[in-house]
Amino acid sequence: MEEPTYDPSRPMPSIDIVYQYRLVNCPGKSIVGLRIEFPPNGSTPPHRHGGASVSAYVIGGSVLNKMNNDPMKVIKPGGTWYEAPGCHHRISDNASETAPATLMANMVLDTDVLERDGMAALIQIDEEYTVEIHRPLSSLNYSPIEAVSRCSPRASSEGLSSSNIADRQLHTAKCLSDIDHLDQLLTLPTNIQAYSPFIILMITNVTIAHLSACRFVYGGEKVATSREKIRLTMGTLKRLSEYCVLGNGPIARSVLSPGRYFASSMKILQPV
């Protein structure tokens, strides 16, 4: 079976903590049990579990599982696997597009880390995916043109980001942090031909979030600085389009086009 590439348009699983105990015979350690329910065609972005030791058991359905650089496996009901601290969980998907899948994950980790960080101590999504996870809950609103791009995930419900101000600010801060990290990544010297086409999706989605931040969050000198950073990503997409046609899609031609976007009625990147 061919290994799938993470698609942010696929639904995420629900994750519930079903138990949490301190381990008396292991001072400083706690055990946490998670029930993870994948809807049909459900998928989780690549992630890690920090310093936790993880064992998992599939209750129903089948899941696709890939750890580090090991071959992907199909885990059926009754199947198990183990993740050592720091392991990279590259693929964690429902193997079926029509039936749900359920598994239990047991994690053993430091009690102080768990009590300090909560769920963030249990699952750390790879940074290149966190914009897609946090943006629907943030103040970075969507543009209609995003719906025509194959690189952009579907826009969320308008009511999703308006429930809690503190939560919305937290998710916005996560997005802005990842925008800054992308800027740092693009300044590193590397052989551009070594990248897979997926890098175009990552750069495009983060850049669109950057544009939204300029309109809805940033102000003053930050907007002018962001315009120069976005020019950097535009140049990167242009170069990548020489190797993959996704780099010359509607977002690159319209939203990221200086002649169209910067001169548009929105004018969100003009210095103020």
Whether residue 97 has pLDDT greater than 90: yes
Reported in sequence order, the residue ranges of 95-234 that DSSP labels E, i.e. its strands, are 101-110, 124-125
Q: How many CB atoms are located within 10 Å of the residue 253 CB?
A: 12
- Considering the entire predicted model, what is its pTM? 0.59
The DSSP output letter for 41 is T
List Cα–Cα distances, 73 to 14, 125, 264, in angstroms. 22, 21, 49
Higher pLDDT, 223 or 264: 223
- For residue 205, the surrounding DSSP H or E stretch is helix 198-216
Q: Find, among 82, 110, 121, the residue nearest to 23 by Cα.
A: 110
* DSSP-derived 3-state class of residue 56: strand
Q: How many CB atoms are located within 10 Å of the residue 227 CB?
A: 18
Alpha carbon 130 to chain centroid, angstroms:
3
SS3 content of the chain, % helix, strand, coil (to 5): 40, 25, 35
pLDDT digits (tens, 9 = 90+) for 98-130: 999 999 999 999 999 999 888 778 888 876 677
pLDDT digits (tens, 9 = 90+) for 35-92: 999 999 999 988 999 889 999 999 999 999 999 989 999 999 999 999 999 899 999 9
What CATH homologous superfamily does 14-125 map to?
Jelly Rolls (2.60.120.10)
- For residue 178, the surrounding DSSP H or E stretch is helix 165-186
What are the sequence ranges of the domains in the chain? Answer: 14-125, 128-262
Q: pLDDT category, 264, cuts 50, 70, 90?
A: very low
Phi, psi angle pair for 36, to nearest 5°: -115, 120
On the CB side of 116, how many CA atoms lie within 13 Å of its CA?
Answer: 5
